Amino acid sequence: MTPFPRVVSTSSHSDKKNVIVRQPPRSFADALTTSQFTNGEKPDYNLALKQHNEYVETFEKLGLNVILLEAEEEYPDCCFVEDQALIVDNHVFFPITGAPSRMGEQKTIIDTITPHMKSIHWCQEPGRIDGGDVVRVGDIFYIGKSKRSNDEGISQFQDFLFKLGFESYVINVPSYSLHLTTLCSAPNSNILLIPESTANDLVFENLPNSVEIIKIPDNETYGCNTIGIGNKVIISEGYSTVKNILSKKGLEIIELPMSEFRAVDGSLTCLSLFYQ
């Protein structure tokens, strides 16, 4: 078998030219949550909308083409577009989300993305997988087995990746966490952020030696979710350790308030879908 490529060139560069986002609906306070990061308080819709507008404006300032979709009131979680499509080098795998109440969100995403894709693939029953359970580090994909993603869904996505020439590995997501991306991210091609307490649980097989795993204090777990775009990295406001470490690595930091999305287990990456 031909060896897989080992060049680390994350999606934070070539894949981030166009971005799909969707406004939070007025029903946002009813979004699904495990209260992993909060004490069960409900998000404030007006503040969530303000924070989302700042999120969108950040992409515009960075020169990305932003496709802003209207909110769908019947789907409180609809702004979390990441879960509804898995885009790899402009090939798309449409998953079946592990949250039954969210299945209707996908139609608008399908209609928006499909014209821009090289090929289209579909998850089949009984497969379940959420976009939030996929982390790309260069040409390697790590897929979280979680409450939302099962063996069948993961297997189908791995087959999709294999046919495109990519390597993939499965990671068991701790039961207290919603998704794999809740716990980690790659802000650039050489860094992987993970919380200290999960360092022994999250095993990243065949991770290139050029990638440095940086352990973040558990009280800043939420800050481990980042979006890298070139030499800039978007982080959630209020996570000083994450900010200081990435600044020392030479990255330009952009901080965004995320309190209302945090209240319903939403992170930075949850709110966007990128394609070339």
Which candidate in 52, 179, 184, 224 is catalytic? 179
Residue 126: is the preceding peptide bond cis (ω within 30°)? yes
How far, in Å, are 95, 160, 181, 234, 237 from residue 109 at the CA level? 11, 19, 20, 24, 28
Active site residue 13: no
- From the candidates 78, 79, 184, 270, give the one annotated as an active-site residue: 270
Q: Could you count the other beta carbons within 10 Å of the beta carbon of residue 100?
A: 9
How many CB atoms lie under 10 A from the CB of residue 217?
14
d(C-alpha 56, C-alpha 64), whole Å = 10
Residue 154 token pair: 């993961």
Q: 227-229 and 232-236 as β-strands: parallel, antiparallel, unpaired?
A: antiparallel
Reply yes or no on whether 270 is catalytic. yes
Helix (H, G, I), strand (E, B) or coil at 154: helix
Q: Which residues are catalytic?
A: 179, 270
